[in-house]
Chain A
């Protein structure tokens, strides 16, 4: 299993390198990420790193791919890959030095690699209606707030367009079901989990 993860990571890195060295054909240019991400917590790793893309003409769509790791000392050991989609519903200009995106609702899928987590329960032992969920694949809902600092103002000539900080709350199918069925004993603060991240646009 670890070998498999290693291969995926290598493949991802190769794609990134191939993309950024510009030796690849022009039509592969869309593969080059628009930003790099480091995130702490947020249910997808103790730390995770990723590559992000700006979507749509107005560049307010967010598509992120993250790889996260939880060490055994933090309740792991887990390897997690995540694909996130979000939309910056509002944009607030902050003079000439930055922008605030106060409300970015989103959706993401995480897949956790661990010997005790299966994509699907073994159908030889469990009929299809025994346990209906996937242990490894988790759908999440998210709400993020992001503040972006203009790169030219921040560090002239660095080639960095912008640096942004975000906080992201997420919940998942497990927690939502628990919440919806038990609204008097659980609160939204119980089911929404927090992550914070740094995004560098280049």
Chain B
């Protein structure tokens, strides 16, 4: 009978960090801060890297055990520059889930960046994400390629015409010194009912108008897909979900993109 209080005491000692004020608090004293910025600093600009090789994964959500196996598989692949988790890093948009997933992803040898997904915008996920990972729209340049990560979760923005933020995208996709190619990364693909139907034409036309635009990368549907929404020839990729134990390995050499579906 005294086993129970003993057990509780042991749990208590193990969990001095377990004083939670609410599942809906957006940070605590142990929360990570600005993970994306920190990891991008570690990544550097890859000016001397002529082979850009990265992983597109997404929808880690409730798939934590799979995420651990994913990190092991990713660490075995040589020459990975960075890893992208393209949204729905959480199921319920709460801080605790973001802390757990960061703990798992911190096992990756390569730096990783997270992009906002629709589930991450439920509850107070927006604030928790911004505290822990950083802005919802951001970009970085690696090896002469500009990666433009942005929020396409129109439904969570009540289809207000501001997600995706087309003026912001246009500004980011301006010609820039040291940049030859562009890649867009977001959670909801434009062929989804969760993407603002009023913005689809403008969105794809914005990409089509950019010289050197290589691809638009997405997640959300949990199903691998490659589609061409217009006649620009720009490929739109959707990666399968972490829970389906699949991701895309993408490589850019000499302004050409190639990819491979990898199961783990």
Interface residues of A, Cβ cutoff 8 Å to B = 40-46, 68, 70, 74-76, 78, 80, 90, 100, 102-103, 110, 112, 114, 116-117, 121, 125-126, 131, 133, 135, 138, 143, 145, 167, 169, 172, 174-175, 177-178, 181-186, 188-190, 192-195
Contact = CB atoms under 8 A, between A and B. Distances in A.
Contact of A78 (B2, B22, B64): B22
Residue from B1, B23, B67, B96 whose CB has the most chain A CB atoms within 10 Å = B23
B19 A117 contact: no
B4 A195 contact: no
Q: Is the interface of A mostly helix, strand, loop or mixed?
A: mixed
A178 B11 contact: no
Given A75-B25, A194-B20, A114 B64 contact: no
A70 B155 contact: no
B123 A135 contact: yes
Interface stretch (B49-57, B87-95, B138-146, B227-235): B87-95
Given A43-B23, A125-B158, A182-B65, A188 B11 contact: yes
Given A75-B22, A192-B18, A193-B20, A178 B64 contact: yes
Interface string B62-79: 111101100000000000
- Give the interface size class of chain B: 35 or more
B100 A70 contact: no
B8 interface: yes
Given A70-B21, A78-B24, A114-B24, A186 B8 contact: no
Interface in B1-40: 1-2, 4-5, 8, 11-12, 14-15, 18-28
Given A116-B123, A135-B123, A185-B64, A174 B24 contact: no
Interface of B: 1-2, 4-5, 8, 11-12, 14-15, 18-28, 62-65, 67-68, 91-92, 94-97, 100, 104, 119, 122-124, 126, 155, 158-159
A97 B241 CA distance: 59
Contacts of A188: 11
Given A194-B18, A194-B19, A195-B19, A143 B8 contact: yes
B26 A75 contact: yes
Contacts of B92: 133, 174
24 contacts: A41-B21, A43-B21, A74-B25, A75-B26, A75-B27, A102-B1, A103-B5, A143-B8, A169-B11, A169-B18, A174-B91, A174-B94, A175-B23, A177-B62, A177-B91, A181-B65, A185-B100, A185-B104, A186-B64, A186-B100, A188-B11, A192-B11, A193-B18, A194-B12
